[in-house]
Amino acid sequence: MGNASSMLTQYDIEEVQQHCNHAFSQQEIVSLYERFCQLDRNNGGFISAEEFLSVPEFARLLRMVDGLNFKEFVAFLSAFSPHATLHQKIEFIFKVYDSDGNGKVTFTDMLDVLRDLTGTFISEKQREQVLTDVLDEAGYTKDSLMILSDFVKILGNSGLKMEVEVPVD
């Protein structure tokens, strides 16, 4: 598992599942391994910071933290606290989609995030269809301008879990 060119064994998959408290299925771990191998360009078994930042979804988050002071940094991470309210978590998600900070999220904004998340795994047409279907199911259209309260309405009963444990000695 250390070398990107090696095969992922059943033992490796189970070990990774245990390490991440079974947060991912075996198929998801295989998919993540394939993505890891794509990022590990020198096949060293590790991803460099440069390789890590080539992942659009991580680069998007890092743009959000660029230039933060300590208080802003902690406020940014607070959305991942087990003590954060559902509203705080939804507000964070809204900010990810509202990349220009104008308080409105367009179809294009959502498509940009979806493109970052899916990469080349699905086509642009498929992305647009998925997003159109999700919006339609939630009672919105491609022309809808969504604001924070729309995200609260859609995600408010979702059981959203976004938590990171901060180790304390």
For residue 4, pLDDT beyond 50: no
How many CB atoms within 10 Å of residue 33? 17
**Exposed, middle or buried, 70 (CB in 10 Å: 0-12/13-18/19+)?**
exposed
Distance, in Å, from the CA atom of 6 to the CA atom of 37, rounded to the nearest integer, reads 10
Q: Which residue has the higher pLDDT, 3 or 128?
A: 128
Query: Residue 1: what pLDDT?
Result: 52
Homologous superfamily of 57-155 in CATH? Answer: EF-hand (1.10.238.10)
- Tell me the Ramachandran region of residue 101: left when phi exceeds 0, alpha when psi lies from -120 to 50, beta otherwise: left
Residue 3 DSSP class:
S
With beta carbons less than 8 A apart as the criterion, state whether 88 and 78 touch: yes
Position 2 pLDDT exceeds 60:
no
pLDDT at 166: 66
- Residue 127: its pLDDT value, please? 92
pLDDT (tens digit per residue) in 71-129: 777 777 788 888 888 888 899 889 888 988 899 999 999 998 888 877 777 899 999 99
pLDDT the model gives residue 3: 44
In the chain, CATH 1.10.238.10 covers 57-155
67 band by pLDDT with thresholds 50, 70 and 90: confident
Q: What is the pTM of this model?
A: 0.64
pLDDT tens for each residue of 18-64: 887 776 788 888 888 887 888 788 888 888 877 777 776 677 777 77
- pLDDT, average across residues 119-142: 89
* Whole-number pLDDT of residue 19: 83
